[in-house]
Amino acid sequence: MRLKLLLPTEILIHEEVVKVVAEAENGSFCILPRHVDFLAALVPGIFSFVTSGGVEQFLAVDEGILIKCGPEVLVSTRNAVRGPDLGKLEQTVEKSFQVLEDRERMARNAVAKLEANFIRRLMEFQEYG
């Protein structure tokens, strides 16, 4: 099978695999080469695959869509972090998610300041109008 994992900004994985394991809302599932065509909505969790060389790889993925059509397995997700093993993956995910939380917090603060400034100016406009 050919696995292609797509992020909004790049193709993270594009290689031959013999097994894919992912997690949907109703639980984990495995796809092997002769599996029927399949579509699943992925939930945040661990995604793994075995390369044609027999090496198991792990990723942490955000919500996404998995489509198995013929020999192709396409996965589209907003965010994915690759790790050589589960222990290191956990550390990598914690660091990545902390950076995302910090960025989101700064963005929320900036929006809150803009909203407060807008309301203050609107009230000033109404006083003088």
SS3 94: helix
Task: Quickly state the pLDDT bin for 96 (edges 50, 70, 90).
Answer: low
The pLDDT assigned to 10 comes to: 95
The pLDDT assigned to 62 comes to: 84
The residue type found at 9 is T
Are 93 and 32 within one domain?
no
Question: Whole-prediction pTM value?
Answer: 0.70
CATH code, 36: 2.60.15.10
- What is the domain count for the chain? 2
| Higher pLDDT among residues 86 and 40, named by residue | 40
Average predicted confidence (pLDDT) for the chain: 88
DSSP string covering 46-67 = EEEEEETTS-EEEEEE-SEEEE
Are 63 and 8 within one domain?
yes
Question: 13-17 — which CB contacts under 8 Å span 24+ positions?
Answer: 13/49, 13/59, 13/82, 15/51, 15/52, 16/51, 16/52, 17/49, 17/50, 17/51, 17/52, 17/73
Distance from chain centroid for Cα 35: 24
For residue 40, the enclosing domain spans 2-83
Are 117 and 72 within one domain?
no
Task: Quickly state the pLDDT bin for 129 (edges 50, 70, 90).
Answer: low
Query: What tens digit of pLDDT does each residue of 12-35 get?
Result: 999 999 999 999 999 999 999 999
Are 78 and 98 within one domain?
no
Are 30 and 41 within one domain?
yes
Are 56 and 103 within one domain?
no
